[in-house]
């Protein structure tokens, strides 16, 4: 039983929709396990109600909150400061309430890089090709750069997001030691050259996600070699066509199933100063994800 006391502090998730989120279950299990007198709830809050909701969260001495779409960018107007990762990403998914001062963080990228490290790949000093610079791709790019990746090749389509991808590369070059560049996804010759020089290839696009499981962002699988590590942020299906191509080429592969877990663990540490019981949360809630 979880006892609510007169000292219990609350926080939660703001966004719309949120009813499907796994975050309340994983955080509340962690609070109970560690004996922390916090609760985590989900609040369906769109952009039009965000300002007043944040004001309430500030005034009621919450420990903080997470944000999901569509609130990750709009929240910047209503907080007091941001971490370096949040500044470079231009989005906030975690807010810490420090005695009425709201500090924004972005732990989405940490979720990716920690899941990479869990698979035995250390990004520091490596060369990476990243397909896609949307929300997840942008967060991953920034954290890879902050974690010491030597060269980052951002590959994006010349669509409405092309300028944003270029701006992302410019920010990384200006504020980190990583050398970032931008390539058109349809420039297959340059893409093949970049993959041939990279240690890690990451798909941060939605290509290959269910129900379109017969699609892949790599048209010519011959560019994949056994020394290359291939990561797909998609986890449904657990093995995308890209991962099948990479496995056939002898590459080590893994998906994005544990990004949510590790970004949650980073947020948990920001709020509590304690480490989330990751193995317990994983075994309780993640064994069936993506099946």
Gap between the Cα atoms of 155 and 264, Å rounded: 27
Gap between the Cα atoms of 125 and 10, Å rounded: 40
Q: Which residue has the tokens 């007043």?
A: 52
Q: Which of 51, 72, 73, 150 is catalytic?
A: 72
Q: Give the three-state DSSP class for 30.
A: helix
In the beta sheet, which residues pair with residue 215? none
- To 10 degrees, the CA torsion angle through 220, 226, 229, 234? 50
Gap between the Cα atoms of 40 and 30, Å rounded: 10
Pairing of strands 179-184, 252-255: unpaired
Gap between the Cα atoms of 259 and 275, Å rounded: 16
Beta-strand runs (E) in 6-100:
9-15, 38-44, 64-67, 81-82, 94-98
Whether residue 73 lies in the annotated active site: no
Gap between the Cα atoms of 156 and 187, Å rounded: 10
Q: Phi/psi zone of residue 161: left (φ > 0), alpha (ψ -120 to 50 degrees), beta?
A: alpha
Q: Which residue has the tokens 């609040």?
A: 43
Q: Give the three-state DSSP class for 180.
A: strand
Do 147 and 124 touch, CB atoms closer than 8 A? yes
Tell me which H or E stretch contains 74. Answer: none
In the beta sheet, which residues pair with residue 95? 65, 104
Q: Give the three-state DSSP class for 29.
A: helix
Q: Which residues are catalytic?
A: 72
């Amino acid at each position: 039983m979880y006892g609510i006391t007169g000292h219990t502090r609350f926080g939660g998730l703001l966004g719309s929709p949120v009813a499907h989120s796994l975050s309340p279950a994983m955080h509340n299990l962690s609070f109970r396990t560690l004996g922390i007198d916090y609760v985590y709830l989900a609040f369906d809050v769109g952009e039009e109600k965000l300002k007043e909701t944040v004001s309430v969260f500030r005034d009621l001495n919450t420990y903080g909150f997470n944000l999901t779409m569509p609130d990750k960018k709009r929240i910047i107007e209503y907080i007091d400061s941001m971490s370096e990762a949040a500044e470079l990403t231009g989005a906030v998914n975690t807010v810490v309430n420090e005695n009425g001062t709201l500090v924004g963080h972005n732990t989405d990228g940490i979720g990716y890089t920690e899941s990479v490290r869990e698979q035995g790949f250390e990004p520091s000093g490596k060369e990476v090709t990243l397909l896609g610079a949307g929300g997840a791709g942008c967060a991953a790019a920034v954290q890879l750069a902050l974690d010491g990746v030597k060269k980052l090749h951002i590959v994006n389509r010349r669509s409405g997001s092309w300028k944003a991808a270029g701006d992302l590369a410019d920010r990384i070059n200006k504020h980190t030691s990583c050398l970032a560049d931008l390539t058109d996804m349809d420039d297959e010759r340059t893409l093949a050259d970049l993959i041939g020089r990279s240690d890690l290839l990451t798909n941060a696009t939605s290509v290959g996600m269910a129900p379109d499981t017969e699609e892949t962002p790599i048209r010519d699988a011959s560019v994949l070699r056994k020394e290359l590590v291939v990561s797909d942020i998609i986890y449904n299906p657990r093995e995308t066509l890209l991962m099948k191509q990479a496995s056939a080429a002898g590459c080590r592969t893994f998906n994005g199933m544990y990004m949510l877990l590790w970004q949650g663990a980073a947020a948990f540490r920001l709020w509590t100063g304690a480490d989330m019981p990751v193995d317990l949360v994983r075994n309780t809630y993640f064994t069936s994800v993506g099946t």
